[in-house]
């Protein structure tokens, strides 16, 4: 399994906090499952932060169901990606997941206000969306960083 680090221009050295989470890559019939914030046209792979005493696999399963309403089984962890922004290290565990059924969405209030919806995009379209991460360099550092993270993960899975 590969480990990659991304260093933001605004990182502090040393970092003082770590936030860990999991992200899922779910592909079916040439399409990939994404979480889409419709209010800002913001895309990302489904996932989020660990809860207390939660394994990376359990976090992946829970977050995908909460954000998308789909049930998944993590089949293979293929990447650990660490990002450094401000004084925080963000660690994302990436899993290839198998779709196993439907569950119940349970978005947070913030996700509801952002219009979070599950959407299936063609794999090529998703790669294209995330490949434009540099377009946001002077506009939205959070979006730039998220798109770079997701592009890096997909690039490492597919290439």
Q: Do the Cβ atoms of 59 and 48 come closer than 8 Å?
A: yes
The dihedral built from the CA positions of residue 153, 157, 131 and 62, taken in this order, carries a sign that is negative
In a domain, 78, yes or no: yes
**Alpha-helical regions (H) of the chain:** 56-68, 109-113, 123-131, 141-158
In a domain, 133, yes or no: no
**Run means of pLDDT, 10 residues per run, the chain, 159 residues:** 91 91 97 97 97 97 98 98 94 98 96 97 96 92 93 93
In a domain, 100, yes or no: yes
In a domain, 130, yes or no: no
Domain containing 36 — which CATH number? Answer: 3.90.79.10
In a domain, 60, yes or no: yes
In a domain, 31, yes or no: yes
pTM of the predicted model, to two decimals?
0.95
Question: Greatest CA span in the chain, whole angstroms?
Answer: 44
In a domain, 15, yes or no: yes
Q: Do the Cβ atoms of 25 and 44 come closer than 8 Å?
A: no
Position 128 scores a pLDDT of 96
Domain encompassing residue 22: 2-121
In a domain, 86, yes or no: yes
Backbone phi, psi, residue 113, to 5°: -65, -25
| Alpha-carbon span 110 to 139, nearest angstrom | 22
Q: Do the Cβ atoms of 81 and 149 come closer than 8 Å?
A: yes
**How many domains does the chain divide into?**
1
């Amino acid at each position: 399994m590969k480990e990659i680090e991304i260093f933001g221009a605004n990182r502090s050295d040393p970092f003082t906090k770590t936030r860990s989470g999991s992200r899922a890559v779910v592909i079916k019939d040439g399409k990939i499952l994404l979480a889409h914030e419709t209010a800002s046209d913001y895309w990302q792979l489904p996932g989020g932060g660990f809860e207390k005493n939660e394994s990376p696999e359990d976090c992946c399963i829970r977050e995908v169901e909460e954000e998308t309403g789909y049930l998944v089984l993590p089949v293979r962890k293929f990447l650990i990606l660490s990002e450094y922004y401000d004084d925080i290290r963000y660690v994302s565990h990436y899993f290839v997941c198998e779709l196993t059924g439907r569950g119940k969405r349970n978005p947070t209030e913030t996700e509801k206000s952002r219009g979070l919806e599950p959407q299936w995009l063609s794999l090529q379209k998703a790669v294209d969306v995330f490949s434009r991460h540099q377009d946001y360099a002077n506009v939205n550092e959070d979006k730039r960083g998220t798109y770079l993270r997701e592009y890096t993960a997909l690039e490492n899975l597919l290439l």
